[in-house]
Amino acid sequence: MDGPRRPRTEELDSVVDLLCDVWPHFRGRYSREQLRAGIRRPLHRRMARIIVEDGRAVSNIQVLYNYVSVYGSRFKVASIGGVCTREDCRGRGLASAVLGRCLEETAAAGARILYVSGDRGIYRRNHCVKAGQFFQVELRPDSLVPAGASVPAESSVSLRRVSTGDWPMLAPLHQAEPVRFLRRADFLSRTVFWWDEFHPEIWLVERDRRALAYLVLAPPRWAEPGDTTGIVTEYAGSRAAILAALPSLFEVGAVSSALFSVPAWDRDMLHLLAGLGAPLTPVTLPDHTIRLLNLPGLIQQLRGHLAALLPRRDLRRLSFGQQGEKCLLKFGEQEAELDLSQAARLVFGAPDAPDVSGDLGQVLSRIFPLPIPPPGVNFI
């Protein structure tokens, strides 16, 4: 067994074979030439870790790094996907080996949290949990008018589809978001090659040719034939403009309904949806689990954000430690020890988050859960 390590040039075709064998839908959506070209991109070669046996790749993981801004405080995050092992090699701990190497490398690289596009047992055993506070709502044409109200006059906003090359026009809208991924102007040309697997569409909302908002639509990951629901994987800009533009989206036949996952910190969108009487379902981070990599480092980099939530005296008395898979939270003389799974549920919010009592619990309730962005087009 050789690895986990980066793939060599001569091994990339074997990585393509591995992905196609484990996920047949890759074969259905791409030609081998497209897959080979995607895997050969420098981004994929840098972020892949594989195990090789008898000259073929038998286990794989993909890692991607980004930065997140939370009300002006920034920290590094890692994302993983493509975790797979050939069927005839399973049961030997190979996937655990590549994931373990990934966790070591991402922590050493300064990432504070890990986004995981999955919720399998291997992730749960490594403290990846369902957490993050969101509300899900599905909007249809008949749900855009408040109960008892008349149908509004035609909106003065317009809607048009744009391409990934138009990102510089959309970037100011995204940069104004209080909780977001930090992105370079050319980031859409540098994302993972399967980002377009589900054919996402970018729709721009304008008034008098002035950009007001945008939303990214994709079909459900496992859509049935004839399913015309659109998953809003990301939105930015004026929330009122987005809702005003939805009738146009329905009229052009792009989708018959739009499924939003609204972060709990997006009070503006939640207020507008409540005015429509739209039913909001509490959910955790959609389609993902999340893991703490370095809790003390995360808190240190968010102190600017936390300083707006706690008096300076309380902030000085609050401390966080981490030793292996244990986290120690202290406020003055009070302390609580949590494992990484419990700590992640507390920090990011989950229905089964641990209950911390006393003054420590009261202080923690003022800063947690931390707001986090959905992966959106940073999905891996």
Q: Does residue 375 lie in a domain region?
A: no
pTM: 0.92
Tell me: do 25 and 94 sit in the same domain: yes
Tell me: do 34 and 99 sit in the same domain: yes
Q: Does residue 118 lie in a domain region?
A: no
Element counts in the chain: helices (H) and strands (E): 14, 17
How confident is residue 184, by pLDDT bands cut at 50, 70 and 90? confident
Q: Does residue 219 lie in a domain region?
A: yes
Tell me: do 155 and 94 sit in the same domain: no
pLDDT, tens digit, 9 for 90 and up, residues 41-51: 887 888 899 99
Minimum mean pLDDT among 14-18, 91-95, 145-149: which range? 145-149
**According to the model, what pLDDT value does residue 199 have?**
65
How confident is residue 151, by pLDDT bands cut at 50, 70 and 90? very low
- Of 250, 266, 283, which closes a domain? 283
Tell me: do 295 and 273 sit in the same domain: no
Q: Strands 334-339, 210-218: parallel, antiparallel or unpaired by DSSP?
A: unpaired
Burial class (CB in 10 A: 0-12, 13-18, 19+), 13: middle
Tell me: do 248 and 152 sit in the same domain: yes
**According to the model, what pLDDT value does residue 189 have?**
67
In this predicted model, which residue has the larger pLDDT, 329 or 151? 329
pLDDT, tens digit, 9 for 90 and up, residues 220-275: 655 566 678 899 999 999 999 999 999 999 998 878 999 999 999 999 999 999 99
Tell me: do 310 and 262 sit in the same domain: no
- pLDDT at position 287 over 70: yes
CB contact at 8 A, 84 and 23: yes
**Chain centroid to CA 358: how far?**
33
- pLDDT at position 133 over 90: yes
- Residue 78 belongs to domain with CATH number: 3.40.630.30
Q: How large is the average pLDDT for residues 109-118?
A: 96
Tell me: do 163 and 29 sit in the same domain: no
- Of 233, 249, 283, which closes a domain? 283
Q: Does residue 155 lie in a domain region?
A: yes
Burial class (CB in 10 A: 0-12, 13-18, 19+), 295: buried
Q: Does residue 47 lie in a domain region?
A: yes
What is the share, in percent, of the chain residues with pLDDT greater than 70? 92
pLDDT, tens digit, 9 for 90 and up, residues 58-104: 999 999 999 999 999 999 999 998 899 999 999 999 999 999 999 99
Distance between CA atoms of residues 229 and 217, nearest Å: 9
**According to the model, what pLDDT value does residue 344 have?**
98
Q: Does residue 23 lie in a domain region?
A: yes
Nearest to 234 by CA among 170, 139, 312, 299: 170
> How many domains does the chain contain in total?
3
Tell me: do 89 and 223 sit in the same domain: no
Q: Does residue 66 lie in a domain region?
A: yes
**Which residues constitute the domain of residue 359?**
290-367
Cβ-based neighbours of 36, under 8 Å, separated by 6 or more = 12, 13, 16
Tell me: do 314 and 219 sit in the same domain: no
How confident is residue 24, by pLDDT bands cut at 50, 70 and 90? confident
Q: Does residue 122 lie in a domain region?
A: no
Tell me: do 243 and 138 sit in the same domain: yes
Tell me: do 303 and 273 sit in the same domain: no
- Of 44, 79, 111, which closes a domain? 111
Tell me: do 180 and 248 sit in the same domain: yes
pLDDT, tens digit, 9 for 90 and up, residues 301-336: 999 999 999 999 999 999 999 999 999 999 999 999
In this predicted model, which residue has the larger pLDDT, 155 or 331? 331
